[in-house]
């Protein structure tokens, strides 16, 4: 049994001063002010001084890190990715595929399913893959970004089921362009199977976007990026994303993908409930400038920017840095910024027991300074420093 103490705790919905969190068998059993909780006998108390305890961060859109891409990494490579993520406060994540040949995609989904199933048996303190986010192949040719045009697919129930079967039911998030023929039917079926359907890489007009939402879509992939631009007379997909309170919206807060003033606009439109921080990180994250892979595509990384033939191709952002950037760009306090990187993504992807510190929840926590710097990470009650 372990007890954690600090100056402050964000659940993140509530603030607790001088908190105590008691952990047993990887779960939180008691939480509240230190003065109101009796420490059980033989319980080890670990104090973190003036630091802040918060839910472990949850990244629902990441392609890799530490030199490894999730579509290519073996078990050792996945462990390197997950250890790197944990060092930056991430305790749960959704490895994200990109468009590739069908054979390569199916093979990658099988490997990722293996990783998810094997990690559940591990007690090592590293980020845990909870499910797969498939970004492609059901994307718009006009807004495909770096996704290879030759490998894009028309959305059909048959193709979706092939992906589902290869992933052994571990698909939890799916990006799709809602304007494509067949998209509403695929969105409805994916939603029926418990997938969070996200609209993105899309040239949809407003009506097409709304049809996707009516079919079951409830999230937006990297808002503003790879989307039809917002027009005051023809608002398109962004008009729906920004005005529909039922949609949550990803934002890549690196200052490259979206200008800080536009990030401020998105956060005002979506509020504390609907803003979801993601990294869209690549294998280059945590690595020096150079050439890396994003799926089967080579990308060049220079001065913090990832490109393929001049087009943005993912990022080198870490989620703790995104939290700090959101505080700066949108003038949010740490508690609100942490919510956008923990509770909101967990709820978006229906990740039970994640993103909220309360009795019965998994003991996934991050220890931070008041400025958002990570000092330690706890995954299911195991400390990683």
CATH of the domain at 126: 3.20.20.140
Q: Is residue 367 part of a domain?
A: no
37 and 74 part of one domain: no
CATH of the domain at 30: 2.30.40.10
Residue 367's H or E segment, with its range, is strand 365-368
pLDDT confidence of residue 8: 98
114 and 174 part of one domain: yes
377 and 332 part of one domain: no
pLDDT band at 321 (very low <50, low <70, confident <90, very high): very high
Q: Is residue 312 part of a domain?
A: yes
20 and 97 part of one domain: no
Residue 334 scores a pLDDT above 90:
yes
38 and 73 part of one domain: no
How crowded is residue 370: how many other Cβ atoms within 10 Å of its Cβ?
A: 12
Residue 106's H or E segment, with its range, is helix 102-119
44 and 187 part of one domain: no
**3-state SS, residue 9:** strand
216 and 303 part of one domain: yes
Q: Which domain holds residue 330?
A: 57-353
Q: Give the mean pLDDT of 40-50.
A: 94
Percent of residues, the chain, with pLDDT higher than 70: 99
185 and 312 part of one domain: yes
Q: Which of 381, 378, 375 is nearest to 52 (CA)?
A: 375
Q: Is residue 362 part of a domain?
A: no
Q: Is residue 365 part of a domain?
A: no
> What's the pLDDT tens digit per position in 1-29?
999 999 999 999 999 999 999 999 999 99
Q: Are strands 128-129 and 132-135 parallel, antiparallel or unpaired?
A: unpaired
Q: Is residue 263 part of a domain?
A: yes
**Alpha carbon distance 151, 129 (integer Å):** 26
164 and 28 part of one domain: no
31 and 95 part of one domain: no
pTM over 0.95: yes
The single residue of 280, 320, 362, 364 carrying the catalytic annotation is 280
The number of folded domains in the chain is 2
Q: Is residue 275 part of a domain?
A: yes
192 and 246 part of one domain: yes
Residue 385 scores a pLDDT above 90:
no
37 and 134 part of one domain: no
Q: Is residue 232 part of a domain?
A: yes
Q: Is residue 295 part of a domain?
A: yes
Residue 202 scores a pLDDT above 80:
yes
**Alpha carbon distance 303, 323 (integer Å):** 20
> What's the pLDDT tens digit per position in 92-142?
999 999 999 999 999 999 999 999 999 876 667 899 999 999 999 999 999
> What's the pLDDT tens digit per position in 250-305?
999 999 999 999 999 999 999 999 999 999 999 999 999 999 999 999 999 999 99
pLDDT confidence of residue 125: 81
pLDDT confidence of residue 122: 66
> In the annotation, is 280 catalytic?
yes
């Amino acid at each position: 049994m372990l007890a954690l103490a600090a100056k402050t705790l964000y659940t993140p919905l509530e603030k607790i001063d001088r908190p105590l969190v008691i952990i047993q068998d990887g779960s939180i059993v008691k939480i509240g002010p230190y003065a109101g909780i009796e420490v059980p006998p033989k319980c080890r108390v670990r104090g973190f001084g003036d630091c802040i305890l918060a839910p472990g961060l949850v990244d629902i859109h990441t392609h890799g890190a530490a030199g490894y891409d999730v579509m290519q990494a073996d078990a050792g490579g996945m462990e390197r990715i997950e250890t790197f993520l944990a060092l930056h406060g991430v305790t749960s994540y959704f490895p994200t595929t990109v468009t590739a040949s069908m054979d390569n995609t199916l093979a990658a989904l099988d490997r990722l399913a293996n990783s998810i199933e094997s990690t559940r048996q591990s007690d090592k303190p590293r980020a845990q893959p909870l499910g797969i986010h498939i970004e492609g192949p059901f994307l718009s040719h006009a807004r495909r970004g770096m996704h290879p045009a030759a490998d894009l697919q028309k959305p059909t129930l048959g193709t979706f089921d092939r992906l589902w079967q290869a992933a052994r039911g571990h698909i939890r998030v799916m990006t799709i362009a809602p304007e494509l023929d067949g998209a509403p039917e695929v969105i409805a079926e994916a939603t029926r199977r418990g997938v969070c359907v996200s609209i993105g890489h899309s040239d949809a007009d407003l009506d097409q976007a709304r049809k996707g939402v009516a079919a079951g879509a409830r999230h937006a992939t990297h808002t503003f990026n790879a989307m039809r631009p917002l027009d005051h007379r023809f608002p398109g997909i962004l008009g729906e994303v920004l005005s529909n309170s039922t949609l949550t919206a990803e934002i890549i807060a690196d200052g490259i993908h979206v200008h800080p003033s536009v990030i401020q606009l998105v956060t005002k439109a979506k509020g504390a409930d609907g803003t979801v921080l993601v990294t869209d990180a690549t294998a280059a994250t945590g690595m020096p400038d150079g050439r890396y892979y994003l799926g089967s595509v080579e990308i060049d990384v220079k001065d913090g920017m990832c490109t393929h033939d001049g087009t943005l191709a993912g990022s080198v952002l870490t989620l703790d840095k995104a939290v700090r950037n959101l505080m700066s760009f949108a003038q949010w306090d740490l508690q609100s910024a942490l919510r956008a990187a923990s509770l909101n993504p967990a709820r978006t992807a229906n990740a039970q027991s994640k993103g909220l510190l309360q009795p019965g929840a998994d003991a996934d926590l991050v220890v931070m300074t008041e400025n958002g710097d990570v000092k330690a990470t706890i995954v299911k009650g195991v400390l990683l420093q």
